[in-house]
Amino acid sequence: MELLLSSLDILARWDVALALLVGSVGGVVIGAIPGVGPAVAIAILLPATFSMDPIVGLTVLLGIYGSSMYGGSIPAVLINTPGTAVNALTTYDGYPMTARGEPRRALSLAYSSSFFGGIFSVICLILFAPVLARVAPMFGSREIFLAALLGIILVVVAHRGQSLIAGALAGFGIWLQSIGMEPVKYTQRYTFDQPFLQGGVNLIVVVLGLFALSQAFVLLTSDDEKIRMTRLRGPLFQGLRELARHPRVATVSASFGVMMGMIPGVGEFTAQFMSYTYAQRTSKRPQDFGNGASEGLIAAETSNNAVPAAAMVPLLALGIPGEALTAMMLSVFYVHNVVPGPQLFQSRMDFVVALYLALLILNVLVMIFLLSATGLLVKVVKIPNRFLGVCVLTLSFVGVYSLRNSVSDCVMAAGFGVLGYILKRLSWPIVPIILGMVLGGIMEVKLRAGMARVKTPWDFIDRPIAFILFFVIIIVLAVHARHVWQDRKALKEAEWKSRHRSTSFGARLLRRRKFLLKERGKVVRGRRKMLSRQSTELY
């Protein structure tokens, strides 16, 4: 009880209340604008949060992270265009409801499902906080190194079909982190005698370039679309009653979100598809999925909103971000000398609980805002792409220059913006670069600290948690190798069948041609006989 009161005391400040309001409302608005997304907004706001208290800055970023998925469901339901990438599955059943004249029902159900998923995950994590506080101190330098290595491997493995590209980009991120002064002997690495590289490559510059500037280039080069909105009719409270009729689907989907959120590199997409598949297989009417099934919409929105709170677990307990957004939040901790990890749970447990309570309050504020202002938010969807592109471009360069008042940072950010634009056009992942930079630094520091007491390779994994993490890494690599082998085998079988079909078709075509020539020959010979017979009769 004392812990709860001290956590509430941290939140009982006017600046924290303002951060809660700005984060919740701003995240919904950002999510409702197709093409922007929370990553761009967080990247732009990140330099401004460095001057705030940790709880204020993190509350703003968490508000945008958690509430953007609420707003992303608005264009997904009304115009079949997801506001954020994780709302893509919402279009499967949300837009068909709109097409048959039920837009308010779809929006209400999406809001209610998101609210349930967010509240469920926060409550679970508040209840698990004492367990995390006991487990976190068991992680030493070797365990954190192996956990960071597992995080990079999971990120690479999650990009199935692009794992080689994702691995190369993660390696590129690790290399970017190594540029500058080496932390132990203070020797220069990869600076090429350039003074501006001696301080290293700033993570915020890379984030703003890869996410914000690249998205600005995409918006500026895309055409503005004329959007026709559907008129909203009916109450928005009916979704809560409809959600209550499907408690099993909502609870299981939220559980998938919590579990997948705690695993680095997995995130919302895996949780969504697992929840959606479960809901479809256990439904009495699976044929309705994709055509406006309420269970499908509940599964998609409940699971993705349960992830943000769960994604804070590896960040707070081990200092290991699981995705790009939590990697950006990690920089806020470091700026204020608040080091996430086992020590945070021992010395600042009230701060951890305060963050979870802030997430709980954010979900309530977002729900109230959506139920009262959906009619106004619908108009945000109509903002032209090029106008958004100019705004994002301007704010991004302002944010980069404000970091160190450096023109070279702006030039570097522009270069990473072009790189991000190319990667997006090639449909290659960007997240591995950011996680490579963040986790690469953690791995280097922890490996050097852990090797001080290591004499043989076995000494590195002679403790229980280290051995479990090493065993999990081996299992993940083995399973991924098996999947790659199966995919290649299936591809070769498909190529062989395709070649076999083409050969069979060619053979049938050749036989058909011979048959036609043979029949034509018979006709020609018959005509010749008939002509010769006629000429004989004439003479």
Whether 376 and 489 map to the same domain: the answer is no
pLDDT higher for 398 or 528?
398
Residue 228 has pLDDT above 80, yes or no: no
How confident is the model over 62-113, as pLDDT tens digits? 888 878 888 878 777 777 766 776 777 777 788 788 777 777 888 888 888 8
Number of domains in the chain: 2
Which pLDDT does position 422 carry in this prediction?
Answer: 92
Rounded mean pLDDT, 112-118:
87
The DSSP annotation for 335-364 comes to: HTT---SHHHHHH-HHHHHHHHHHHHHHHH
Handedness of CA 133, 146, 179, 201 (dihedral sign): negative
Residue 465 has pLDDT above 70, yes or no: yes
Nearest to 208 by CA among 406, 31, 359: 406
Residue 144 has pLDDT above 50, yes or no: yes
Give the pLDDT band of residue 231 (cuts 50, 70, 90): low
Q: Return the amino acid letter for 17.
A: A
Nearest to 346 by CA among 118, 128, 60, 130: 130
Give the pLDDT band of residue 235 (cuts 50, 70, 90): low
CA-based max dimension of the chain: 128
pTM reported for the whole predicted model:
0.71
Whether 325 and 364 map to the same domain: the answer is yes
How confident is the model over 13-33, as pLDDT tens digits? 788 888 888 888 888 888 777
Buried-exposed string 21-58: b where 16+ CB fall within 10 A, e elsewhere: bbbbbbbbbbbbbbbbbbbbbbbbbbbebeebebbbbb
Whether 484 and 457 map to the same domain: the answer is no
Whether 353 and 407 map to the same domain: the answer is yes
**C-alpha torsion 278→486→431→416, nearest 10:** -150
Whether 168 and 259 map to the same domain: the answer is yes
Whether 235 and 274 map to the same domain: the answer is yes
**Eight-class DSSP state of 534:** H
Cβ atoms 156, 175 nearer than 8 A: no
Give me the residue label for tokens 């996680």. Answer: 435
How confident is the model over 493-503, as pLDDT tens digits? 777 766 655 45
Which pLDDT does position 419 carry in this prediction?
Answer: 92
Which pLDDT does position 401 carry in this prediction?
Answer: 81
Whether 252 and 368 map to the same domain: the answer is yes
Residue 190 has pLDDT above 70, yes or no: yes
- Residue 188 main-chain phi, psi, to 5 deg: -85, 140
Whether 437 and 522 map to the same domain: the answer is no
Of 404, 428, 462, the one marking the end of a domain is 462
Cβ atoms 141, 449 nearer than 8 A: yes
Q: Return the amino acid letter for 424.
A: K
Which pLDDT does position 536 carry in this prediction?
Answer: 41
Whether 318 and 425 map to the same domain: the answer is yes
Whether 283 and 410 map to the same domain: the answer is yes
The DSSP annotation for 138-186 comes to: G--HHHHHHHHHHHHHHHHHHSTT-HHHHHHHHHHHHHHHH-EE-TTT-
Which pLDDT does position 539 carry in this prediction?
Answer: 36
Which pLDDT does position 441 carry in this prediction?
Answer: 81
Residue 534 has pLDDT above 50, yes or no: no
Task: Please give the share of the chain, as a percent, with pLDDT higher than 90.
Answer: 2
Whether 290 and 334 map to the same domain: the answer is yes
189 strand-pairing partners: 180
Give the pLDDT band of residue 366 (cuts 50, 70, 90): confident
Give the pLDDT band of residue 418 (cuts 50, 70, 90): very high
Whether 124 and 66 map to the same domain: the answer is yes
Q: Is 199 helix (H, G, I), strand (E, B) or coil?
A: coil
Most confident by average pLDDT, 49-58, 151-160, 164-173: 164-173
Which pLDDT does position 51 carry in this prediction?
Answer: 78
Give the pLDDT band of residue 538 (cuts 50, 70, 90): very low
Q: Which two structure tokens, joined as six digits, stand for 136?
A: 């976190």
User: Among the listed ranges 173-177, 250-254, 386-390, which one has the minimum average pLDDT value?
Assistant: 386-390
Of 462, 486, 509, the one marking the end of a domain is 462
Task: Please give the share of the chain, as a percent, with pLDDT higher than 70.
Answer: 83
Sort 344 into a burial class: Cβ within 10 Å, 0-12 / 13-18 / 19+. buried
pLDDT higher for 113 or 382?
113
Nearest to 40 by CA among 85, 88, 78, 77: 85
Buried-exposed string 290-319: b where 16+ CB fall within 10 A, e elsewhere: eebbbbbbbbbbbbbbbbbbbbbbbbbbbb
Residue 537 has pLDDT above 70, yes or no: no
Other beta carbons within 10 Å of 502: 10
Which pLDDT does position 224 carry in this prediction?
Answer: 64
Residue 427 has pLDDT above 80, yes or no: yes
Of 409, 442, 462, the one marking the end of a domain is 462
Give the pLDDT band of residue 530 (cuts 50, 70, 90): low
Cβ atoms 283, 295 nearer than 8 A: yes
Q: What is the mean pLDDT of the chain?
A: 77
Domain range spanning residue 19? 2-462
